[in-house]
Amino acid sequence: MVTRRTFLVAGVAGGAALAAAYWLRERRAPPTAAGAQAASVDPDAQAIMAAIIPVLLDGALPSEPPARAAARDEILRDAGAAIRGLPPIAQRELAQLFALLALPPARIALAGVTSPWADAPPAAVAAFLDRWRDSGWKLQRSAYDALHQLVFAAWYGNPRSWPAIGYAGPPALGS
């Protein structure tokens, strides 16, 4: 049982971990003028997104490899565009989240994923997502929600997803 005290400690530690990870990232790769766009174009963020997309959308993506790859690429593209449309503070928070998850110690300790994201087995990614979904730690829970919203909005906003869910698209107007 998480007490209020341990929760607060975890929250403070989590905030510090995020700040540290982001700071390390900034040191490693000095930000460009469009630094806040990092979350959408950063290769580490791409690798994390590419690892979670097939797990979040298990049972929803096309099964044929070419269509599946195209769907994933379009989700990455549309999620990136969505991130670039967010307010700067929200972009910064997402950049911090991806920076944290990209750090091997954090990936292993917080996400429980031992291989690099590009090689992570789907079962390990699924266990990570389940744990953060059910987490009593607000940081993990809200991060899960952010990833959930980004990926599901990108896929189900894409007409490619509509036939499988019986949605015919918006009605045609005009004669």
Partner 1 sequence: MTAPAATGLPDPVRAGIAGGWRVVDASALERDQILDADVAIVGTGAGGGTAAEILAMAGLRVVLIEEGPLRTSSDFRMRESEAYADLYQESAARRTADKAIGIMQGRCVGGGTTVNWTSSFRTPAITLETWARAHGVSGLSPAALAPYFARMEERLSIAPWEVSPNENNAALARGAARTGLSTASIPRNVKGCWNLGYCGMGCPVNAKQSMLVTTIPAALDRGATLVTRARAHAFALERDRVSALTCVAMDPQGVRPTARTVTVRARAFVAAGGAIGSPALLLRSAVPDPHGLIGKRTFLHPTVVSVALMRDRVDAYSGAPQSTYSDHFIETLPPGGPMGFKLESAPVHPILGAITVPSHGASHARWMRELPHLQVAIALLRDGFHPESPGGRVLLQDDGTPALDYPLTPYVWDGVRRALRTMAQVQFAAGATRVMPVHGDGTAYATWSEAGAAIDDFALAPLATPVVSAHVMGGCPLGGDPRRAVVDDAGRHHHLANLYVLDASLFPTSIGANPQLSIYGIVAKLADGLAATLAPASAGGPGASAQPGPLPPADL
Sign of CA dihedral 99, 92, 46, 32: negative
CB of 104 to partner 1, least distance (A): 24
CB of 29 to partner 1, least distance (A): 21
Q: Is 159 in the site for partner 1 (CB under 8 A)?
A: yes
User: Alpha carbon of 65 to those of 60, 69, 76: distances in Å?
Assistant: 13, 6, 16
CB of 87 to partner 1, least distance (A): 5
Please, which residue, 7 or 105, has the CB nearer to partner 1?
7
Query: Which range binds partner 1 by CB under 8 A, 22-30, 100-108, 112-120, 145-153?
Result: 145-153
Residue 94 half-sphere exposure, CB side, CA atoms within 13 Å? 30
Return all residues near 78 (Cβ < 8 A) that are at least 6 apart.
154, 157, 158
Q: Is 113 in the site for partner 1 (CB under 8 A)?
A: no
Structure-token match 């292993």, residue found: 108
Separation CA 30–CA 17 (nearest Å): 19
Q: Is 166 in the site for partner 1 (CB under 8 A)?
A: yes
Q: Is 164 in the site for partner 1 (CB under 8 A)?
A: yes
Separation CA 58–CA 73 (nearest Å): 16
Please, which residue, 104 or 145, has the CB nearer to partner 1?
145
CB of 161 to partner 1, least distance (A): 7
Ranges assigned E (strand) in 50-140? none
∠ CA 73-75-76, rounded to 5°: 65
Residues numbered 35-94 forming contacts with partner 1, rule: CB under 8 A: 55-60, 78, 81-82, 84-90
Please, which residue, 104 or 112, has the CB nearer to partner 1?
112
Residue numbers at the binding site for partner 1 (CB under 8 A): 55-60, 78, 81-82, 84-90, 126, 129, 133-134, 138, 141-142, 145-146, 148-149, 152-153, 155-159, 161-162, 164-174
